[in-house]
């Protein structure tokens, strides 16, 4: 094992897959010359000059051209710069990329990966801080991955680049500099399989991305109060690993769902309703959902921290659930 950053693990995955498969090419804004705004392409500077290139600021053209390339057998990987700006190319994604395989009866295979940063950053304000994964979970036709560690990002990107399905990968800005262990040898992580980051007996916490780390921090503090959390990192949001979550809830009999995206109609509601429908008899307490307040992200760092969930929200929910508040 070696210890590298999330960004370095991502760069390794891209490098290894481009060396393995010459149909893979990647493009976006500020990646070929700058190395990406969060450094994911730093290790690729000067490599693959005809397969890594910068684009104009025109998301509709970027995503539309990726669709065309995928339909003729190439494997494009597009960096969307900030997830907020996926909306400026939404027609190519929701009307075409997510529907072509269905509309062609499976003939139009789309070996296509959209990836890039999402989530809160220091005073990035309302247009550069959103977690919008729920929107793409609602519309059928695309897989959604959201890795939380260097190990996960490398294994899941490699799997995604070998897939025949369109995939979108959200990478939280705060994770790019985080370090973790990654094997020296090649490995793949299957999509749709959750990872139990910490086993516990009292409360199941289902989460993704930055909130995995906040949940682990909360678990470390709650041990002092005799509360033992089980932390499940979904890793893939669509399809999500229902079996692992239900099995955990059957053990702990309690469920907290924690995500950074807005609480109102966030993806946590889908998880909660599924458990309510299929594992209600296992619950000893009402399900608690944790998410951001339903407001645009403020510029003020004080207000940003106020509206964004963190470990304290999980600690408070856990104590309430266990009858200590």
**Environment class of 228 (CB within 10 Å of its CB; exposed 0-12, middle 13-18, buried 19+):** middle
Question: Whole-angstrom Cα distance, residue 191 to residue 113?
Answer: 13
Give start-end residues of each CATH 3.40.50.970 domain in the chain: 2-182
CA 64 to chain centre: 22
pLDDT digits (tens, 9 = 90+) for 161-179: 999 999 999 999 999 999 9
Give start-end residues of each CATH 3.40.50.920 domain in the chain: 195-321
Owner of token pair 């041990």: 223
Output the pLDDT for position 89: 87
Direct distance between the N- and C-terminal alpha carbons of the chain, in angstroms, rounded to an integer: 43
Nearest one of 317, 267, 289 to 132, comparing CA atoms: 267
> pLDDT confidence of 157, banded at 50, 70, 90?
very high
Output the pLDDT for position 324: 67
Average pLDDT in the 100-112 region?
A: 88
Backbone angles phi, psi at 14, to 5 degrees: -65, -45
- Secondary structure string (H, E, C) spanning the chain: CEEEEHHHHHHHHHHHHHHHCCCEEEEECCCCCCCCCCCCCHHHCCCCCCCEEECCCCHHHHHHHHHHHHHCCCEEEEECCCHHHHHHHHHHHHHHHCCHHHHCCCCCCCCEEEEEEECCCCCCCCCCCCCCHHHHHHCCCCEEECCCCHHHHHHHHHHHHCCCCEEEEEEEHHHCCCEEEECCCCCCCCCCCCEEEECCCCEEEEECCHHHHHHHHHHHHHHHHCCCEEEEECCEEECCCHHHHHHHHHHHCCEEEEEEEECCCCHHHHHHHHHHHHCHHHCCCCCEEEEECCCCCCCCHHHHHHHCCCHHHHHHHHHHHCCCC
Annotated catalytic residue, options 81, 128, 213, 259:
128
Question: Whole-angstrom Cα distance, residue 53 to residue 34?
Answer: 11
Question: What does the mean pLDDT of the chain come to?
Answer: 94
Residue with the bigger pLDDT between 218 and 37: it is 218
Share of the chain above pLDDT 90, in %: 80
> pLDDT confidence of 29, banded at 50, 70, 90?
confident
Average pLDDT in the 97-102 region?
A: 92
Output the pLDDT for position 5: 96
128 is catalytic: yes
Average pLDDT in the 105-124 region?
A: 89
Nearest one of 192, 35, 7 to 117, comparing CA atoms: 7
CATH assignment of 2-182? Answer: 3.40.50.970
> pLDDT confidence of 106, banded at 50, 70, 90?
confident
**Cα angle, residue 209 at apex, residues 249 and 18 outer, rounded to 5°:** 120
Question: Whole-angstrom Cα distance, residue 150 to residue 191?
Answer: 16
pTM of the model: 0.94
- Reading the block at residue 239, the tokens are 């399809």
Output the pLDDT for position 201: 97
Q: Would you identify the CATH topology of the domain 195-321?
A: Rossmann fold (3.40.50)
């Amino acid at each position: 094992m070696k210890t590298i950053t999330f960004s370095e693990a991502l760069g390794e995955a891209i490098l290894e897959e481009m060396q393995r498969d010459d149909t893979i090419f990647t493009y976006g804004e500020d990646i070929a010359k700058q190395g990406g705004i969060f450094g994911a392409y730093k290790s690729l500077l000067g490599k693959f000059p005809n397969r890594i290139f910068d684009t104009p600021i025109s998301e509709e053209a970027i995503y539309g051209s990726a669709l065309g390339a995928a339909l003729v057998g190439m494997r494009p990987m597009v960096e969307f710069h900030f997830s907020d700006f996926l909306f400026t190319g939404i027609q190519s994604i929701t009307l075409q990329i997510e529907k072509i395989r269905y509309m062609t009866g499976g003939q139009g295979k789309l070996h296509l990966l959209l990836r890039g940063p999402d989530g809160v950053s220091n005073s990035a304000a309302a247009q550069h801080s959103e977690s919008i994964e729920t929107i793409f979970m609602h519309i059928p036709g695309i897989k959604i991955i959201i890795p939380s560690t260097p190990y996960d990002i490398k294994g899941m990107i490699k799997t995604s680049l070998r897939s025949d399905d369109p995939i979108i990968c959200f990478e939280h800005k705060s994770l790019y500099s985080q370090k973790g262990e990654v094997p020296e040898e090649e490995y793949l992580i299957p999509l749709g399989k959750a990872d139990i980051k910490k086993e516990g007996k009292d409360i199941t916490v289902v989460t993704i991305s930055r909130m995995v780390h906040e949940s682990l921090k909360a678990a470390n503090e709650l041990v002092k109060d005799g509360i033992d959390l089980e932390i499940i990192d979904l890793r893939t949001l669509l399809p999500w690993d229902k079996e692992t979550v239900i099995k955990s809830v059957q053990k702990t009999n309690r469920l907290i769902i924690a995500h950074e995206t807005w609480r109102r109609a966030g993806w946590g509601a889908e998880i909660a309703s599924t458990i309510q429908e299929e594992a209600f008899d296992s619950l000893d307490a009402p399900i608690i959902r944790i998410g951001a307040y339903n407001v645009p992200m403020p510029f003020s760092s004080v207000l940003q921290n106020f509206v964004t969930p963190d470990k304290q929200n999980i600690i408070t929910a856990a104590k309430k659930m266990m009858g200590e508040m």
